[in-house]
Structure formats: structure tokens, C-alpha cells
Amino acid sequence: MEIFKNLFNTIIEFKNMSPWNWMSNSDIFAVENPATGQIGYCDIMGEGGETFGLAVYLGNTGWRWLSDRLTDTPVDSFSMFMQNCISVTFENAGELEPEDKEIIKKLGLKFKGKNAYPLLRRYSPGHIPVMINEAEAEFLNVALQQTMMLAPKVKEDPNCLVSPEGDLVIRKLNKNKKGWMNHWFSPGLTPDITMPDNSFISEIAGQIKNLRTRGSEIWALGMFFLPEPVLDDNEKNIFFPLALVILDRKTGLILNNRLVDYNYLEKELLSLFAATVKKAGFIPSALETTMEEIYFTFSPVDELLRVKPVLSESIEVLDEMEQEMMRMFLKGK
């Protein structure tokens, strides 16, 4: 419990400082996780007077979601499931789950009043919010500490977090000097992709290596979340199923589909493609998609799989298929 004890001590300091009194939710800065190198984008909540706390958006996926919100980009049916952050918010006692109360009890802490109880949550793409784990607690502690280091400087100079070129401040631990320093940083907008290991990719390529037939057809590959959460096979993980669908680009005919957990997206995409190639008996001339996550999964292995990924702004047959499948899903509930 030492990690959570340290975190709660920092949370109490953060609450006492209340930087939302002079910082808005557009005052964004980054912190590098000294344990992993992952970038977290810190967003202070409280300007509106309703929800108070700190959210740390993780990696490019987190930044893409936060950036869309800051620019008032319309939230589509996919991106609404893509929030990727760890957070602490201050809630009423009735908002806490038993596990939240248990941690507070074990630490011997007591809170009282409106918006007084710390609520710790991990939001990950395609999953319901859960309690943060120890590694996430350590990073949240670091992010809160660095927020309290920067907040007084923002009070003195509200423009200090953004350079004239539009770069953000990022706090990094200088291990040689054993201290934290500010740097300018330009966030990345390509989605975070975790490619499977070489043995898995070789296995997928091996499944279709004997197929020499090249079709003229273009396949369209899309994905969308179903709005009803399910339990995984171990009954430990609750997630929103992600539907992967491969269509014939010209006719709209569904060639293959499956429901997956977003955590295994890259493996499932490559596996579905290989299964569809074996089923069809040929390799398509191209694989077209509107989703950057799909495009950047296939780009590194396009020569090995002998298919060219194409990124398009819109694919009508995919839009029609998603609408029809959602109608069928909602009708069957």
C-alpha cells in the first residue's frame, strides 16, 4: 500500500493547492513517465465548477482524444470509446465503489463533505473505467507532483505552457542532474500501434504464403464498437466488443467479420486478414480503410503480406454496413 499512500499524500496537497482556481482545462502540458518513457498529457479539471481533479492522457491515443475535445471536434461513434487516461477526481461519498472505500480505509484516511473523496480511475479504449493499478498510481503521483511544480508559474505567466511555435511544455526527469526540467515538445498524432512479435507475424505470413493468385478486387476493412459491454472468457475483464469487418469494396458483400477486445487489435486484424485470404483463395489488390489504426497496423508488414493498405477519408459501403449492423444489434436487444 506504500505506493497508494504516497499517491494519496500528493492528492491531498494537490487538493489544498486547487490550481483549477487559476488554470483552465486548456492549459495542457506533458510529463514523461520516468519508468517507461510514455508521455502523459495533463489536463486540470475544475474550471467549470463541477468536476475537480487531474486527468493524464496517455500516449498519442490519449492526445488525439484530448486534442479533439479541445478543438470541439465532433465526437463520432468510434472516438467516444477511445478515451485513454488515468485520473483523480474529487467526488461525493456516494460516487465511490467498495474498492475505493477499502483503499481509503486501509490508509487510515477520512474525508468529509462535498467533492472531498478522491476517485482514481483508468480509462482505456473500449473498456469501462476501472481502479488504477500500482504502476499507474506511481505515474499519477509523478504527474500530480509536476503539476504542482508548474501551476505557480502558470499563475505568474498564463502563456508559459505554449511556445510561439505552438509546442507544449514537457517535464522530463534529468537523471544525470537528478532533477526535473522543462523542454518544448510537439505531440504526435499517429495512433499508438503495438505490433505483434516477429514470430506471430511470420506465422500469419506463413498461412498465406502458398497463395499466388492476385485478385483485382479491393477489400474494405472497417471497425466499430458495439455499445453493450461484455465479460471476457475469464470473467475478469469487461469491454465493449469491437467489430472488425472485411467487405468487397465494389459490391459491399461481407467477406469476414469478428468481435474482438481492442487490447488485441493488431493481432486480430492480421489474423482476420489471413483467414479471409484463405477463405477467398486469393490476395486482394489493395486493402482500403478509413481508420488510421488499421492503416498503420498493415503498413509495416505490407510487403510480407503482399497487400497494399490505402487510407481513405470515407468508404460508403462501410458506412452503410455499420449502420445496418447497429440497427440489427439494437433491434435484437
pLDDT score of 194: 94
pLDDT score of 326: 82
Pairing of strands 168-174, 29-32: parallel
> Half-sphere exposure of residue 181, counting CA atoms within 13 Å on the CB side?
8
The 3-class secondary structure across the chain, one letter per residue, is CHHHHHHHHHHHHHHHHCHHHCCCCCCCEEEECCCCCCEEEEEEECCCCCCCEEEEEEHHHHHHHHHHHHCCCCCCCCHHHCCCEEEEEEECHHHCCHHHHHHHHHCCCCCCCCCCEEEEEEECCCECCECCCHHHHHHHHHHHHHHHHHHHHHHHCCCCCECCCCCEEEEEEECCCCEEEEEEECCCCCCCCCCCCHHHHHHHHHHHCCCCCECCCEEEEEEEECCCCEECCCCCCEECCEEEEEEECCCCCEEEEEEECHHHHHHHHHHHHHHHHHHHCCECCEEEECCHHHHHHHHHHHHHHCCCEEECCCCHHHHHHHHHHHHHHHHHC
Nine-digit cell at 180? 526535473
User: pLDDT at residue 333 above 80?
Assistant: no
pLDDT score of 235: 66
Which residue in 25, 13, 48, 46 sits closest to 146, CA to CA?
Answer: 13
Under 8 Å CB-to-CB from 153, ≥6 apart: which residues?
Answer: 160
One-letter identity of residue 19: P
Question: Would you call 205 exposed, middle or buried from its count of C-beta atoms within 10 A (0-12, 13-18, 19+)?
Answer: middle
Q: Give me the residue spans of the domains in the chain.
A: 2-185, 198-332
Mean pLDDT for 198-222 is: 92
Q: How confident is the model at residue 219 (pLDDT cuts 50, 70, 90)?
A: very high
pLDDT score of 178: 77
CATH class of the domain at 198-332: alpha beta
Mean pLDDT for 127-136 is: 96
Least confident of 87-101, 286-300, 316-330: 316-330
User: pLDDT at residue 92 above 70?
Assistant: yes
Q: How confident is the model at residue 324 (pLDDT cuts 50, 70, 90)?
A: confident
How many CB atoms within 10 Å of residue 264?
13
Chain segment 142-176, per-residue pLDDT in tens = 999 999 999 999 999 999 999 999 899 999 998 77
Mean pLDDT for 24-45 is: 96
pLDDT score of 177: 66
| Torsion angle of the four alpha carbons 171, 173, 179, 180, in this order, in degrees rounded to the nearest 10 | 0
Mean pLDDT for 73-100 is: 94
pLDDT score of 48: 81
User: pLDDT at residue 72 above 90?
Assistant: no
pTM exceeds 0.75, yes or no: yes
Least confident of 74-83, 104-113, 129-138: 74-83
pLDDT score of 175: 79
Chain segment 230-249, per-residue pLDDT in tens = 988 776 789 999 999 999 99
User: pLDDT at residue 329 above 80?
Assistant: no
What does pLDDT average to over the chain? 94
pLDDT score of 1: 87
Chain segment 256-271, per-residue pLDDT in tens = 999 999 999 999 999 9
Contact of 245 with 321, CB cutoff 8 Å: yes
Percent with pLDDT over 70 in the chain: 99
| Torsion angle of the four alpha carbons 96, 99, 105, 107, in this order, in degrees rounded to the nearest 10 | -110
Angle between helices 198-208 and 265-280 (to 10 degrees): 10
Calpha distance 47→71 (Å, rounded): 17
Strand partners, 311: 289
pLDDT score of 75: 80
